[in-house]
Chain A
Amino acid sequence: MSIFEVMGPIMIGPSSSHTAGAAKLGRMARLLFADKIEKVVVNLHGSFANTAGGHGTDRAVIGGLLGFLPDDERIRTSFKIAEEEGMDFEFKEVNLRDVHPNTLMLELYAGEKNLSITGSSIGGGRIVITKINQNDVNLTGRMPTLWILHRDRPGEVGKITSTLGYHSINIAFMQVYRNKKGDIGSCIIELDQVPDSDVITSLEKMENVLQVRYLPSL
């Protein structure tokens, strides 16, 4: 662990878990969604629901959804900026089962498209995304990460990992999911190196790959 995790991070106050962590969760959701967000419903659970206003959790999440980093002073006026950029937002209090006290679920919309992301702020500004739509995942944003959707075919995951290997990118952690055999597979790959745009393009060009999202480390 770097000493800058003790003497840092540089952030907008007042709370690393309720403000910085909330901004990171919003930003992660934006990167996963990738399209321009037209509307978002922010469902707050537990301590996030109880103290959202006082800790600026609400403004931090919206700031993150606008792409702001946790040290961006625009977080303070994120509601106004969201309005200017045409991003509708709404807050709800929910009771999610068996989750960390600082958890939120974001429902993102753009035209026909929608995506639901659940994540928790687990202390000191560290976060974890625990669900993408109905799939359980474990995504911390501490390493460069790829989220790839592909047709569920034999050898498809192998082709993806070989492509990364060909570009000298090492896989640190990897999670694979699917809803139904032969339908759509989803893999989350955490990397030791930062993939350049060539790597992303060659993954996107693969026959059975449907979507590639790159999330730089937070």
Chain B
Amino acid sequence: MQYSTIDELLKVAEKNNISISEVVIQVEVEESELPREEVVAKMKESLVVMRDAIEKGRNSRIKSSGGLVGEEALKMAEYSKDKPERLFMAAITDALAVAEVNAGMGKIVAGPTAGASGIVPAVVVSVGEKLNLSDLDMVKGLFTAAGLGDVVSHTATLAGAAGGCQAECGVGSAMAAGAAVELMGGSPEMAVNAFALALKNLLGLVCDPVAGLVEVPCVKRNGFAASHALTAALMALSGIKSVIPPDEVILAMTDVGSQMPSTLRETAKGGLAITPTGREIKNKLENKE
């Protein structure tokens, strides 16, 4: 069993009548030569780290390195307290929580990257909790996300410095969308469509961090990208398909990334980073150091 494109991943799942997560687990077991229990336990460990980060970000004020972020999740959690519990609210809050913990030198799972580490945990945990799914189900969701991201890492890039933020938050959102579909009972075909829909809509997203820090716009973008993943998942579950197939969307992402000027690829030399406020923050932080 093997796959190197999203199409192959889908075909293997359909041919064997299994979920995408099952394909990803089986291939990882084959390639790592580790027992299945060990591979699953390793991902379970990631789920624990993700949950801890969500908990921490939701309940405490984080001191980030640059001091530009730190209480977004707290605000959202406070705001949603006396409101009916809604999936989107939970996902946005969880994503902000993890991204803030990352900005504050806390422990996270860098999937697909540290800067985009809030999206997958937020979507998987909020959907899992909303639907009362087991930990094992959520772990499976993480395998689905990982398998989709793995294809991107082989055929394109996951680095903001190479492809802009579309390669980080864009891919993170697409991975999370696929996972959400599987967790919500959708078919493998729906999952890869959700992946394509989410990535397509974030093509061209630039990486222009203020003062070069993983804070602005990164933390709030994780919140947006989580709700974006859910939007894509719901569209796919309704039967909406991406006209452009997933593997071609990945190619388009590479194409867009290579046409993106270097000022918008994690150099902090364009976009938000060079706005008057962006520059002022940078100067202030440099003088402090």
Interface: A83 (CB within 8 A)? no
Q: Which of B32, B43, B114 touches A11 (beta carbons < 8 Å)?
A: B114
CB proximity of B8 to chain A, nearest CB, Å = 15
Do residues B65 and A55 form an inter-chain contact, with CB atoms below 8 A? yes
Q: How large is the interface on B (under 10, 10 to 19, 20 to 34, 35 or more residues)?
A: 35 or more
Do residues B112 and A6 form an inter-chain contact, with CB atoms below 8 A? yes
Find chain A residues with CB under 8 A from B107 CB: 10-13, 71, 73
List A142-180 residues whose CB lies under 8 Å from chain B. none
Find chain B residues with CB under 8 A from A125 CB: 110
CB proximity of B21 to chain A, nearest CB, Å = 11
A interface residues, how many (CB within 8 angstroms): 34
Do residues B159 and A124 form an inter-chain contact, with CB atoms below 8 A? yes
Do residues A14 and B153 form an inter-chain contact, with CB atoms below 8 A? no
Do residues A3 and B143 form an inter-chain contact, with CB atoms below 8 A? yes
Q: Interface code A4-17, partner B: CB below 8 Å = 1, 0 otherwise? A: 11111111111110
Q: Which of A3, A50, A56 touches B105 (beta carbons < 8 Å)?
A: A56
Interface: A182 (CB within 8 A)? no
Q: Of B81-89, B129-137, B206-214, which stretch is located at the interface? A: B206-214
Find chain B residues with CB under 8 A from A7 CB: 43, 46, 109, 111-112, 120, 142-143, 145-146, 149
CB proximity of A51 to chain B, nearest CB, Å = 5
List A114-140 residues whose CB lies under 8 Å from chain B. 123-125
Find chain B residues with CB under 8 A from A59 CB: 105
Distance in angstroms between the alpha carbons of A16 and B108 in the assembled complex: 11
Distance in angstroms between the alpha carbons of A15 and B161 in the assembled complex: 12
List B212-261 residues whose CB lies under 8 Å from chain A. 212-215
19 contacts between A and B (CB under 8 A): A1-B154, A3-B143, A3-B146, A3-B149, A6-B146, A6-B149, A7-B43, A10-B109, A10-B110, A11-B110, A13-B117, A13-B214, A15-B114, A51-B212, A53-B285, A54-B212, A55-B212, A56-B65, A71-B107
Given A13-B108, A51-B213, residue A2 in contact with residue B101 (CB < 8 A)? no
Do residues B46 and A14 form an inter-chain contact, with CB atoms below 8 A? no
Interface: B158 (CB within 8 A)? yes
- Closest CB pairs A-B (n = 10): A13-B102, A7-B146, A7-B111, A14-B214, A6-B149, A3-B146, A53-B289, A54-B213, A51-B212, A6-B150
List A181-213 residues whose CB lies under 8 Å from chain B. none
Find chain A residues with CB under 8 A from B24 CB: 3
Interface: A39 (CB within 8 A)? no
Q: Which of A6, A55, A71 touches B213 (beta carbons < 8 Å)?
A: A55
Interface: A75 (CB within 8 A)? yes
Q: Interface code B113-134, partner A: CB below 8 Å = 1, 0 otherwise? A: 1110100100000000000000
Closest to B213 in A: A54
